[in-house]
Chain A
Amino acid sequence: MTATVAELETMTTAKVVDARGSACPGPLLEAKRSMGTVPVGSVIEIWSTDPVTKSDIGAWSAKVGHDFLGVVEGEGYDRVFVRRQK
């Protein structure tokens, strides 16, 4: 289920993963690692300067069963939101 940008911007996140400056697969690995540290049902936000991160995180979420909520463009980086589902 995707959320609107306005919803994402006001969303409470359990963790912000700052992976800016890291290239593939760095942000994905950091997302995977961080997801294990937050409760099921909570949201993590991944910051990445790598433009492929949003599609990679989307594919990863679909594969492992998390809820990819969407992307907010920051200044020079993407903020990617995922809800832990299991």
Chain B
Amino acid sequence: MNNALSIVLFSGTEDKLHAAGTIAAGAAAMDRPVNILLMYWALDAFRADRIEKDHGLAYDAARPRFNEPVGSMGDIPWLETFRQAKEIGEVSILACSGSLAVLGLEAAHMDPLVDASGGIAAFLMAAEGSQLIFI
């Protein structure tokens, strides 16, 4: 069994980024390697020129609801959860090259938190036998 945690991060809204960052940071604290593959809207959120901007909330938030997220959703904003995860553990963040192409982006557009662009085969090889979650 591969001890790593693999996350396919597809979504680019504040709430889902925050959930993914929390799980990544928790796994890093537990000494588990974390492999993150950014696809589609997550790539947009990790663009160097957009990463500090408000990325809105997921579709679920459009429905009537009883609780509103407070401030930046917890005392560690989503961006900080990823920064801390990388600081305390072995965390790799790859930009899916296919999604980059679909969005008309290049790896150079990404924030420095993103390590490199990568292909799906390399990600799946690293993820083999690990837990894999899709957000």
Q: Please list the residues of chain A having a beta carbon within 8 angstroms of any beta carbon in chain B.
A: 21-26, 28-29, 31-33, 60, 63-64
**Can you identify 21 A-B contacts, CB atoms within 8 angstroms?**
A22-B75, A23-B75, A23-B76, A24-B22, A24-B74, A25-B22, A25-B25, A25-B81, A26-B74, A26-B75, A26-B76, A28-B26, A29-B84, A29-B88, A32-B29, A32-B88, A60-B29, A60-B30, A63-B31, A64-B30, A64-B31
Q: How would residues 40 to 82 of chain B score, 1 for a CB under 8 Å from any chain A CB and 0 otherwise? A: 0000000000000000000000000000000000111000010
Tell me the complex Cα distance, A24–B26, Å. 9
Chain B residues near A28 (CB-CB < 8 A): 26, 29
Tell me the complex Cα distance, A26–B26, Å. 9
Q: Is the CB of A29 within 8 A of B75?
A: no
Beyond the given pairs A23-B74, A23-B76, A29-B29, 11 more chain A to chain B contacts, judged by CB atoms under 8 angstroms and listed by A's residue number, are A22-B75, A23-B75, A25-B29, A25-B76, A26-B75, A28-B26, A28-B29, A29-B88, A32-B88, A33-B87, A63-B31
Tell me the complex Cα distance, A33–B76, Å. 15
Chain A residues near B30 (CB-CB < 8 A): 60, 63-64
Tell me the complex Cα distance, A35–B88, Å. 11
Tell me the complex Cα distance, A23–B70, Å. 12
Chain B residues near A24 (CB-CB < 8 A): 22, 74
- A21 and B31 contact, Cβ closer than 8 Å, known pairs A29-B84, A29-B88: no
